[in-house]
Structure 1
């Protein structure tokens, strides 16, 4: 039975995503990206890019330029090495806020701002890396570029949805001192320059989690939030979820759903109704 009768939920089948297999890269695009364009799928709220990528060992994305986008990578399996053009191979830093070899549970975040170059490679000898790359449009252009990397353990995500990214507490009028302090709206999360919350949960079969829209007081825009749900392809098709108890809102692996007409503090029920645990990511935007 629905608890959010005012919410509009529109499933997005995986088969409607843009897909390409380049041999070294198997990629699927929820929104128009690169060589795939569909005017029906351009963005949702501030969410502009949601790519599910698999990269073979020894391959990756060479140094490339970004600006005026908030970009983050969520590692599902394997290893991804992130560095910028100043960092030489073999000189990885232990400082997670600079350059880092990412594994499962790690989230790497970049504010492109006025411009930054970086590369992302799978330098593992044997294993493919499987990760989500997500881009959000910032609330202000030409910000100072910055990196953040944090670890969010699976054991926490198996208990409830974990907030991973929340807005910069100082907001759009942040000073340079605020930018350096990088205080997020919720302790323990990564700050983003947008009224956006990114969360993840791993729901056991037969169980349900409640997603709190807007992470409570973390957001400024509290009405008519745009919440995108994505179920990554991690369990060979054995994971499945149902949203808000609705039989017409059941998602298979690779599917997503647009949830609109919801407000901060609304509780969205997400049930795991498949044979295996369901890893669910949520991008919650103004």
Structure 2
């Protein structure tokens, strides 16, 4: 029988630093909840607003898969591997921090705010050689279907990471319904409603609500509002 963990949007950790307005689904920085450390291999979901021209100065990471999904605006990235890039809505970026990297992230726009998700996943291999990947996807390809944006496989659609995980984005017409099949035994799915209202296995979720589901082979998804959007993150439940 499926098990569920519901995280309502207003139950997330929150910090407003002026230049950064951020919500944390799981314990992060000054927000700590012993019941909300991680969901399987999924360690961090940060929902960030970064003011025009502002951002994170150079800082280190290691042994974490870091995925960035811009929602609105343009993200400027620089790192110790020599990568300099701008990441736009429709792009997905991943860094395998491995043995260690340093990077900075800034809002590349001086007049418009930047909104993004940054997600951390525990890797299945430690101390790998750090790597960077950025791709552009056709946003129209997620209309009334789930567009794969991440997998463990280099030849699949989307970016790849060192973990048996799959991420999908979907944007749906009202009343559109579909089933999602779990790809790997022992995995669970964390569903985050990006916008609108969506029903998963009979549970109604609003904007930025999160639902973890495990011990199941599939989940049922139905859009209850027009242009409802969801991010599905399938990850191993055991570290």
TM-score by length of structure 2 reads 0.94
| 1:13 aligned onto 2:8 | yes
Q: Is the 8 A contact 1:68 1:115 kept in 2?
A: yes
Do 1:240 and 1:272's aligned partners in 2 also have CA atoms closer than 8 Å? yes
In 2, the alpha carbon distance for the partners of 1:227 and 1:121 equals: 30
Q: Distance in 2 between matches of 1:158 and 1:86?
A: 35
The answer on whether the counterparts of 1:8 and 1:260 sit within 8 Å (CA) in structure 2 is: yes
Residue of 36, 39, 44 corresponding to 2:39: 44
Partner of 1:213: 182
Q: Pick from 185, 210, 214 the counterpart of residue 260 of structure 1.
A: 214
Q: Give the Cα–Cα distance (whole angstroms) in 2 for the partners of residues 45 and 19 of structure 1.
A: 22
Find the residue that maps to 1:126 and give its secondary structure.
coil
Aligned equivalent of 1:118: 103
Counterparts in 2 of 1:216-227, with a 5 A limit?
222-227=184-189
Aligned to 1:31: 26
Structure 2 counterpart SS, 1:110: strand
Which residue number corresponds to residue 59 of structure 2? 64
Alpha-carbon RMSD: 1.4
Which structure shows the bigger proportion of residues in strand conformation? 2
1-structure distance, mates of 2:167, 2:29: 23
Partner of 1:204: 173
> Which SS does the other structure have where 2:215 is aligned?
strand
Q: Could you say which residue in structure 1 is the equivalent of 2:162? A: 193
Instruction: Map Cα deviations across residues 170-228 of structure 1 (whole Å, 9 max, x no partner).
Output: xxxxxxxxxxxxx24xx2221110111111111122212332322xxxxxxx3232210
Q: How many residues align?
A: 236
Q: Who is 2:222 aligned against?
A: 271
Q: How does 1:96-107 map to 2 (within 5 A)?
A: 98-107=83-92
Deviations 1:102-133 (A, max 9, x none): 11100010000000111110020211111100
From 49, 55, 72, the equivalent of 1:77 is: 72
TM-score, normalised on structure 1?
Answer: 0.79
Displacement of 1:86 in angstroms is 6.9
Determine if contact 1:85/1:119 at 8 Å carries over to the other structure: no
**Which consecutive residues of structure 1, in runs of 5 or more, have no partner in the other structure?**
1-5, 88-97, 169-182, 215-221
Report runs of 4+ in structure 1 exceeding 4 Å deviation. none
Q: Contact between 2:81 and 2:101, CA under 8 Å: does it hold in 1?
A: no
- Structure 1 residues 86, 67: closer, same or farther in 2, change over 3 A? closer
> Is residue 162 from structure 1 mapped to residue 135 from structure 2 by the alignment?
no
Note the alpha carbon deviations across 1:226-259, whole angstroms, 9 max, x for none. Answer: 2100012x5xxxx100002x1xx11111100010
Q: Contact 1:223–1:262 (CA<8 Å) still a contact in 2? A: no
Ranges in structure 2 where 5+ consecutive residues have no aligned partner: none
Q: SS of the residue aligned with 2:151?
A: strand
